[in-house]
Amino acid sequence: MDLLMPRGGGLDATRQIKRESPDTKVLVLTSLTDDATRCSAFANGADFFLDKRDIAASLVPAIRATMSP
């Protein structure tokens, strides 16, 4: 999930996804990495939070961690 999306934000989309399908895993991938944004992402149902700058080294492990029960 990107947090900066046209026609609505990623936080709203994450909240809606988790409300309608609680078992769906949501991995946030964003350049907005301040503590308030991170806390908001988790408060809205994100399962994992990843900084876009760390994508090369962290994306595959983050996906695996998100998919773990």
The whole-number pLDDT of residue 59 equals 78
The structural domains of the chain, with segments of one domain joined by +, span: 10-67
Q: Which class is domain 10-67?
A: alpha beta
Please report how many Cα atoms fall inside a 13 Å half-sphere around the Cα of residue 1, on the Cβ side: 27
pTM of the predicted model as reported, rounded to 2 decimal places:
0.77
Closest CA to 37 of 16, 58, 52, 21: 52
Could you read off the pLDDT of 7-55 as tens digits, one per residue?
Answer: 778 999 999 999 999 999 999 988 888 999 999 999 999 998 988 887 7
The whole-number pLDDT of residue 66 equals 77
Q: How many residues does the chain have?
A: 69
- Residue with the larger pLDDT of the pair 62 and 24: 24
The whole-number pLDDT of residue 45 equals 96
The whole-number pLDDT of residue 42 equals 97
